[in-house]
Homo-oligomer: A and B are copies of this chain.
Amino acid sequence: MASTPTFEYYNDAWAAKMIGRRSRRGIDAYLGVEVTEFGPGRLVAGFDVTEDLITMIGNMHGGCISALVDHCLGVVMYPVMPEGSWAATTEFKINLLAPVSKGRVEATAEILSMTRRLAVVRIEVENALGPDSSQRRMVALAQGTCTIVAPKGAA
């Protein structure tokens, strides 16, 4: 099956700085998204399903998962692009597989294809349950496209 492409660039220092860092603003801050693993073309990021995220029906809104997917799509691109480049989430498609009401939500994003202009990223989202997060089930599957914008003045 799909082998991750090799990457010409990889800004290890930038990736390392992202681990465990939380945004102070924006929807990723609201959700409490944290990157826990980062490598060339691959990251793991997630958040705890707190009471605040649960709707009156008793489940977490699916929008929390699609926002996480959107977030990962952009972040996974940064360290593999030439410095000064910009990655825009052009589009993505997501299947929501099962409701989530507790535990932790964790997305694994992988760049499966990358050219100078476009990348295709696949994201799998699991719900981790149990005291040690060892019970895991797939709750969403996504596939998205990022457009890479070269820095001004680049060839």
Contact = CB atoms under 8 A, between A and B. Distances in A.
Interface in A83-116: 88-97, 108, 110, 112-113
Given A71-B61, A96-B91, A26 B53 contact: yes
A27 B63 contact: yes
Contact of A64 (B27, B62, B113): B27
Interface string A51-79: 01111100011111011111100100000
Interface stretch (A7-15, A127-135, A137-145): A137-145
A152 interface: no
Given A95-B120, A95-B145, A27 B113 contact: no
Interface of A: 1-2, 23-28, 30-31, 52-56, 60-64, 66-71, 74, 88-97, 108, 110, 112-113, 117-118, 120, 122, 124, 138, 141-143, 145, 147
Q: What are the 4 tightest A-B residue pairs by CB atom distance, in nearest-first order?
A: A63-B67, A26-B55, A93-B93, A66-B66
